[in-house]
Amino acid sequence: MTPFIRVQMQRIDVSAELARLTAGQTGVGGIGSFIGFVRDDPACPLQSLSLEHYPGMTEAAMTQIATEAAGRWPLLGCTLIHRVGRLVPGDDIVLVLAASPHRQAALDATGFLIDWLKTRAPFWKQERFVDGTERWVEARLADDEAASRW
Amino acid sequence: MTPFIRVQMQRIDVSAELARLTAGQTGVGGIGSFIGFVRDDPACPLQSLSLEHYPGMTEAAMTQIATEAAGRWPLLGCTLIHRVGRLVPGDDIVLVLAASPHRQAALDATGFLIDWLKTRAPFWKQERFVDGTERWVEARLADDEAASRW
Amino acid sequence: MVRVLYFAWLRERMGCAEEQLEIPPGVATVGDLAAWLRARNAKGEAAFAELSTVRAAVNQVFALPPAPFADGDEVAFFPPVTGG
Amino acid sequence: MVRVLYFAWLRERMGCAEEQLEIPPGVATVGDLAAWLRARNAKGEAAFAELSTVRAAVNQVFALPPAPFADGDEVAFFPPVTGG
């Protein structure tokens, strides 16, 4: 299995990625997927979210995460795409796809991939609010705990 | 939350369903998804799979499953689409989408929805093999066990 | 009159997808109905031979053998579901 | 010479994204380098004030403070990651 890894500025075309993942395969029984979005909080309206990454290391870390998943579940393919740059509420940020002969493996691998991606790939988010203030998002303990379950 | 439920003959357009699910929403933090496919087994080559259902009861059961999920997780929307009719290896069979402010809720609801859909919605599969033989797929104990975890 | 539906291999073995039936007195539950259909003719005997693999619904809601039904109801018999 | 990179608020506080540095003898680990950068000037003091919130990588692999580095290596400092 060769994972498909990409860091990109543009929106994620889920149908195109599904087609890429399943091209030429008939052994796939299920694809699990997670799509992350920029969420707006009415209590503190977000104007935009800027995503920064560490070129080179990011792709290497994403490949390593996918390789780890392939060692744990019988994957026929997986896709990790993460956006960088300036995003607005409602925009997609991240796509994880995991294809397997078996439904449970596809779903478990999907959860694993997004948990590890959140805690082990070098991306940083800065929020800009409607009132003009900015702040760097802090890492959440809950994310580390979710990732350490695996 | 009003779930989107449909039984259909035609292929599932995942991008269109994602657009429908997120239309007008900015509170979505993540969408979990599962897509089931007709899987080919090289040891016993499948020619086609025929899916039969119980019109009326099927939609009611799917709505009830979605309602149950909405009672357990903070869902902003969910989509359950199941195909019927004659399918061939590689075809999609089922799509589950669950949108939530929170990643873990979206992923957990997705797992729940597909497990319950497999065990509580009246669909039946008949396999036709390349050698001309046919057989009705038997319910798997593993599916019941997966569904009873919830 | 009760509308009785059959799905999957129960439909094949019964030779029909549905029928309107006049139910004799004493046949009041889903289990009674399955037993009566099994005893009625050879098709019923084939379809309901292994009762442990037959599932049912009354008015489109899953029902166990002790579940009652009444005149005008829709009762369906089918194998364990295999969707998804 | 060592190539040192800064990301997110470490980049902002350092006022640059990267620099080529001649490292003095005795600065041999990631932890040594962070302490040296902190003592070097006001920007370093601001960026490395809370060492518990600083993470690092050597040659694009996550590294803890005791990790060594050598001439020609790439060392990066950044806050805990917040992708996904």
In A, minimum Cα distance to B14 occurs at A15
Question: Is there a domain that residue C83 lies in?
Answer: no
Exposed/middle/buried for residue A120 (C-beta within 10 Å: 0-12, 13-18, 19+):
middle
- Three-state SS annotation for A76-130: CEEEEEEECEEECCCCEEEEEEEEECCHHHHHHHHHHHHHHHHHHCCEEEEEEEC
Note whether A93 contacts D82, CB cutoff 8 Å.
Answer: no
In C, minimum Cα distance to B139 occurs at C82
B150 has a pLDDT exceeding 90: no
Q: What is the pLDDT along chain D (84 residues), one digit of tens a residue?
A: 999 999 999 999 999 999 999 999 999 999 999 999 999 999 999 999 999 999 999 999 999 999 999 999 999 999 999 999
Chain centre distance of CA A124: 13
B144 has a pLDDT exceeding 90: no
Among left, alpha and beta (phi > 0; psi -120 to 50; other), residue A132 is left
The pLDDT > 70 percentage for chain D reads 100
**pLDDT for position D40:** 96
List the helix and strand counts (H, then E) for chain B: 4, 8
**Which of A39, A49, A54 to probe by mutation at the D interface, max D CB count within 10 Å?**
A54
**pLDDT for position A42:** 80
Q: What's the total number of domains in chain B?
A: 1
Helix, strand, coil fractions of chain C, as percent rounded to 5: 30, 25, 40
Closest CA to A46 of A137, A122, A119: A137
Distance from CA of A118 to the nearest CA of D (A): 5
List the domain range (segments joined by +) for residue B115. Answer: 4-148
**pLDDT for position B145:** 84
In B, minimum Cα distance to A89 occurs at B26
Which residue in C60, C62, C80 is closest to B56 by CB distance?
Answer: C60
Nearest-angstrom CA–CA distance, B36 and B50: 15
The answer to whether D43 and D13 are in contact (CB under 8 A) is: yes
Total residue count of chain D as it appears in this document = 84
Total residue count of chain A as it appears in this document = 150
Those residues with Cβ within 8 angstroms of residue A55's Cβ, 6 or more apart along the chain or in another chain: A7
**pLDDT for position A147:** 85
Q: φ, ψ for residue B40 (rounded to 5)?
A: -95, 140
B134 has a pLDDT exceeding 90: yes
D61 touches chain A (CB under 8 A): yes
Q: Assign B143 a pLDDT band (cuts: 50, 70, 90).
A: confident
Question: Is there a domain that residue C42 lies in?
Answer: yes
The 10s digit of each residue's pLDDT in B71-108 is 999 999 999 999 999 999 999 999 999 999 999 999 99
CATH code of C51's domain: 3.10.20.30
Mean pLDDT by 10 residues, chain A (150 residues): 96 97 91 95 89 98 98 98 97 97 97 97 96 93 84
The 10s digit of each residue's pLDDT in C49-67 is 999 999 999 999 999 999 9
Q: What's the total number of domains in chain D?
A: 1
Give chain B positions within 8 Å (CB) of C79. 124, 136, 138-139
Helix, strand, coil fractions of chain B, as percent rounded to 5: 35, 35, 35
Note whether B82 contacts C84, CB cutoff 8 Å.
Answer: yes
Note whether A54 contacts D61, CB cutoff 8 Å.
Answer: no
The 10s digit of each residue's pLDDT in C11-25 is 999 999 999 999 999
**pLDDT for position C58:** 98
Note whether A14 contacts B13, CB cutoff 8 Å.
Answer: no
Q: Measured at the alpha carbon of residue B1, what is the angle toward residues B97 and A102, in degrees to the nearest 5?
A: 20
More confident residue, A4 or B25: A4
**pLDDT for position C75:** 98
More confident residue, B109 or A143: B109
- What are the tokens at A44? 């503190």
The answer to whether A85 and A50 are in contact (CB under 8 A) is: yes
**pLDDT for position A43:** 81
List the domain range (segments joined by +) for residue C31. Answer: 2-78
CATH code of A49's domain: 3.90.1170.40
Touching partners of D (3+ C-beta pairs < 8 Å)? A
